[in-house]
């Protein structure tokens, strides 16, 4: 299945793009998507454990299964204010 990952804040620098398409096995979870990104982008791998996933306008569980066509967002450590 194919999933689109939107990269917010510094995660766009770590991954070299604002959006990435991943081909994942059926039943893959958010954690699997993060693993795939970590395998591809060393700068992301170094910070993987600090990143949350959003789906729509909410934080998503990284253990929730994804579906073909899903769009998820990387939420790196925040610095509002």
Decide if residue 79 touches other proteins (CB under 8 A): yes
Q: Which of 2, 8, 26, 39: binder of other proteins (CB under 8 A)?
A: 8
Report the alpha-carbon distance of residue 56 to residue 38 in Å, rounded. 22
Quick one: which of 40, 49, 52, 51 has its CA closest to 16? 40
Nearer to other proteins, 25 or 63 (CB): 63
Give the binding-site size for other proteins (rule: CB under 8 A): 20
- Nearer to other proteins by C-beta: 1 or 54? 54
Question: CA torsion, points 20, 8, 59, 78, in degrees to nearest 10?
Answer: 150
* Residue 28 binds other proteins, judged by CB under 8 A: no
């Amino acid at each position: 299945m194919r999933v689109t990952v939107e990269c917010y804040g510094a995660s766009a620098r770590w991954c070299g793009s604002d959006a990435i398409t991943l081909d994942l096995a059926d039943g893959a979870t958010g954690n699997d998507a993060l693993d795939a990104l970590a395998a591809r982008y060393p700068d992301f791998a170094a910070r993987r454990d600090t990143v949350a996933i959003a789906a729509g306008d909410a934080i998503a569980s990284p253990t929730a299964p994804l579906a073909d066509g899903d769009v998820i967002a990387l939420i790196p450590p925040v610095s509002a204010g």
